[in-house]
Structure 1
């Protein structure tokens, strides 16, 4: 890792201060003014500093705010039997809605094995 020079002057801060005092100054004019007071910068660096200072400052860390979980628990829904046309298409394939409902059931039951046990008990009750 490169070492920082400890030559006292913060070039970016000096540019920001000059631009605050002279808001209409172009990057080339700012670079020339900085060279006149002994700070060696080019117009591109001045332009970058001005651009970065205009950006909105975000505070805090990136990502999801603290205390918010990835998945929110869905309210309990009544699981009714879907209509035959909704559950299966004409070719006998399971619809996407049915798969989504099955996934929700498995998540609520705590796993595939628990869901299978519950379905087998339900099947016995319905006979």
Structure 2
């Protein structure tokens, strides 16, 4: 039986979403990323991977467009199974709480609820 999962990486700009996607899903050596910094994500970077008998769709959302994802572009969360919120230690507690509250709200509205 083949399962499909939609995973969304979400967070402020420069918090490490693309790095996490590259290291954990594409198996890029993290030390190589120290020598070659990544360009900021524009819009959505989507990739697909097979893991055992499952198909994973990874959606890396640009942090610069965070307000759009929560307002005019909510459909990106439709049928999402997992949202991974990524924060940098330098993000303020207020910013983190605000993003988490918005994420919970959008998840109740758009995500799959198993």
Give the TM-score range, shorter chain: under 0.3
TM-score, normalised to structure 2, is: 0.20
Q: Which has the higher contact order (CA 8 A, sep 6+)?
A: 2
- TM-score, normalization: structure 1? 0.19
When you count strand as a share of all residues, which structure comes out higher?
2
Instruction: Report the structure, 1 or 2, having the larger helix content.
Output: 1
